[in-house]
Structure 1
Amino acid sequence: MAAPPSESPPPSATAPDVVAAVVSALRAAGCVFAEEEAELLLAAARTPEELTAMVDRRVAGLPLEHVLGWAEFHGLRIAVEPGVFVPRRRTEFLVDQALVRAPHAPVVVDLCCGSGALGAALAAALGAVEVHAADIDPAAVRCARRNLAPYGGLAYLGDLFDALPAGLRGRVGILTANVPYVPSDEVALLPAEARDHEPKTALDGGADGLDVLRRVAAGASEWLAPGGCLLTETSERQAPAAVAAFRDAGLTARLAESEELYAHVVIGVRR
């Protein structure tokens, strides 16, 4: 049998001077973790031309996850398209809190789902579970459908609870809502990667940052199963007001915090 034709080595196996050039370009662009990013880009690029294009996009300011096409979240690779909110590592704490609170939840709903990262992570951990997600951004819903497909999950386009099938009322064991919570006048202060490349609807939470959180809290009891829980992320400064909003909506509420991840999660339980 004839030997197979030789193939060019992938960019990840290129000479040290190529690696050094990528690191140098990223560092000059202000990438704090230039070496780690270079390793990821070299591994992802299939040709030298693709590597050049990826480095150029990153140097131009596109978030690394958008360049790669995926973000690492709770042990999964979550597909992320340009223009879609990138799941933050601190939000893994929200997933962990949900699993502690409802380790056998049969139904999960992920509102303001973005890429569907929370729903996918919960589905991967829970096993046999019914998963639904919703977002007002069409690009986000496309991503969420891709990420939830392996778990049989569904994603809907629409505004919060209005997007969900009526048959979910009173059945939801875990309701996650990674709502936008940046006060409107602080959006302009965000890092350029978020401000310029993620949808404003995923960032801007209104005057005090809690507009969407209050809407979710107000409607949650109608959709939660008895003992079901709502979890949402907020900032340290907003946490007291967020807990109060949950209680005003008739939920039993508490705050969970992670110093390591600097994460603040409000947990509300249907009474």
Structure 2
Amino acid sequence: MTVPVDRAALVARLRAAGCVYAEDEAALLVAAAGNPAALAALVERRVAGQPLEHLLGWAEFGGVRVAVDPGVFVPRARSLLLVSAAVAVAGPAPAVAELCCGSGALSILLAERLEPRFLAAVDVDPAAVACAGRNLAGRGVPVFAGDLFEPLPAGWRGRLDLVVANAPYVPTEAVALMPAEARLHEARVALDGGPDGLAVLRRVAAGAAQWLAPGGHLVVEAGAAQVDGLRGVLAAVGLASSVVHDGDLDATAVTARRESPGGDGP
């Protein structure tokens, strides 16, 4: 069913509300609405600052439509760098864990591109766990509720080949400066990285040093200004790191390797 609408007026209203890609958003909202009343309600909510992805119920990530529930962190295109960085360091049939998984978007792509022997996702936010569980249900990827490595089976300790985490890294004081659609509509736990933005990443690094197999890799996202501090954190727990930057995505990833018992370098 095609909803009758004044496209020019709709685009103008969205643009006035600060929607940069107003034409694209207008088309998506019209397609999602079943009738004029539903469209009007969606537009009102979008103009009020709700994330487009929460209104649609999905986000496009790496060519895949990923379900995103209200309150759940919306996957950003820049996090595609985590996927490519992980693929670059992973060996054949790796054992993989995604921490801070949100909607499970990274695990969806990792399951396709790595063909892991096992893959699990973890998040501390119940809404994210439920959302990721639906997204990953048909892929044989379990989703655990809990804090970082804590809910993983104890037998996996020291056996993981790859840990990927888009952990929160926004400094606490900077959260207030984020766009309202993120600050007001995504879980604070998915955004706030503590006073310097590295509080959660420090715990990820410490856990990875215990849960990675010798030669295994940790891949995380960070702000460009945080790289030196993060590499120091990784070195302190025995992980040798390198940095990958993608200017097109405006993204920075840090990969870190747990050295083998023989002390091999990265």
Give the alignment's TM-score, normalised by structure 2: 0.93
Within 2, Cα distance between the matches of 1:241 and 1:229?
19
Cα distance per residue 1:49-107 (max 9 Å; x no partner): 22222111111100111111111111111111111111110000110110111152432
Residue 209 of structure 1: how far off its partner (Å):
0.6
Verify: 1:10 aligned to 2:22, yes or no.
no
Cα distance per residue 1:193-251 (max 9 Å; x no partner): 11111111111111111011011101102211232110111111111111111111111
In the other structure, the counterpart of 1:23 is: 11
Residues 123 and 129, structure 1, Cα contact 8 Å, conserved in 2: no
Q: Residue 198 of structure 1: SS of its match in structure 2?
A: coil
Q: CA RMSD in A?
A: 1.4
Runs (4 or more) in structure 1 with deviation over 4 Å come to none
* Mapping 1:201-212, distance limit 5 Å: 201-212=189-200
Query: Quick one: which amino acid aligns to residue 27 of structure 1?
Result: R
Within 1, Cα distance between the matches of 2:119 and 2:178?
32
In the other structure, the counterpart of 1:163 is: 151
Query: Quick one: which amino acid aligns to residue 259 of structure 1?
Result: G
Quick one: structure 1 residues 46 and 124, their matched pair in 2 at CA, closer, same or farther if it must change by over 3 Å? farther
Within 2, Cα distance between the matches of 1:258 and 1:53?
38
In the other structure, the counterpart of 2:205 is: 217
In the other structure, the counterpart of 2:35 is: 47
Within 1, Cα distance between the matches of 2:219 and 2:115?
20
In the other structure, the counterpart of 2:104 is: 116
Q: Residue 163 of structure 2: SS of its match in structure 1?
A: strand
Structure 2: unaligned runs, 5 residues or longer: 260-266
Structure 1: unaligned runs, 5 residues or longer: 1-8
Quick one: structure 1 residues 55 and 117, their matched pair in 2 at CA, closer, same or farther if it must change by over 3 Å? same
Within 1, Cα distance between the matches of 2:69 and 2:173?
27
* Mapping 1:38-117, distance limit 5 Å: 38-117=26-105
In the other structure, the counterpart of 1:178 is: 166
Verify: 1:144 aligned to 2:132, yes or no.
yes
Name the % identity.
54
Verify: 1:270 aligned to 2:249, yes or no.
no
In the other structure, the counterpart of 1:5 is: none
Cα distance per residue 1:170-201 (max 9 Å; x no partner): 22222111111111111111111111111111
In the other structure, the counterpart of 1:6 is: none
Q: Residue 134 of structure 1: SS of its match in structure 2?
A: strand
Residue 117 of structure 1: how far off its partner (Å):
1.0
Give the alignment's TM-score, normalised by structure 1: 0.91
Q: Residue 253 of structure 1: SS of its match in structure 2?
A: strand
Within 2, Cα distance between the matches of 1:207 and 1:75?
35
